[in-house]
Amino acid sequence: MKQALTRIAPLVLAAPLAACAGGSADYPSLAIRDAERVEGTFEPAPATEAPAPTAAPSADLLQRLSQLRTEAASAHQAFTQAVPGARRTIEAARGAGVETNSWAAAQVALADLDSHRSRTAVALGDLDLIFADATLAFELREPIAAARSEVADMIAQEDAILTELRSIR
């Protein structure tokens, strides 16, 4: 009986599949139709007017850029002044366990440096927003880009120092 079932089972299972097979005349062709064919040429439309010239930055914008540069330079100077003390504190904690006061002091020194770096980064974020706004308004971006580059260089210097100090353990 078991052998008979194993011989009949494939036939019983194949029967529903045979019902799905039909003539190809019942289905639409998958060939490309006339409406799907690409025709014509792709040429840009002639320009009707020249693009508007970029607007020069306003006096308020230039003052804001100067203010952000000053804020970033102040934060960077505070960072630079805090580095020697932080370096000494971190060096003193080298090899110390997590439970020691010297390790905790080193973490506080790193946090202090991170705080100064974040002040510099806030100025960079503000410059990024000003740059995006100038881009959308088709204003002259070179003064903004110069300020951004200057502050980004400060951030890069600070990041390099922080990476170095974090590697001391």
Find the mean pLDDT for residues 16-30: 68
Among 120, 107, 133, CA closest to 159: 120
59-92 vs 142-167: helix axis angle to the nearest 10? 10
* pLDDT 10s digits, 79-134: 999 999 999 999 988 887 778 888 899 999 999 999 999 999 999 999 999 999 98
Q: Is the pTM of this model over 0.95?
A: no
* pLDDT 10s digits, 59-70: 899 999 999 999
101-136 vs 142-167: helix axis angle to the nearest 10? 160
Cβ-contact 154, 122 below 8 angstroms:
no
* pLDDT recorded at residue 40: 67
* pLDDT recorded at residue 78: 97
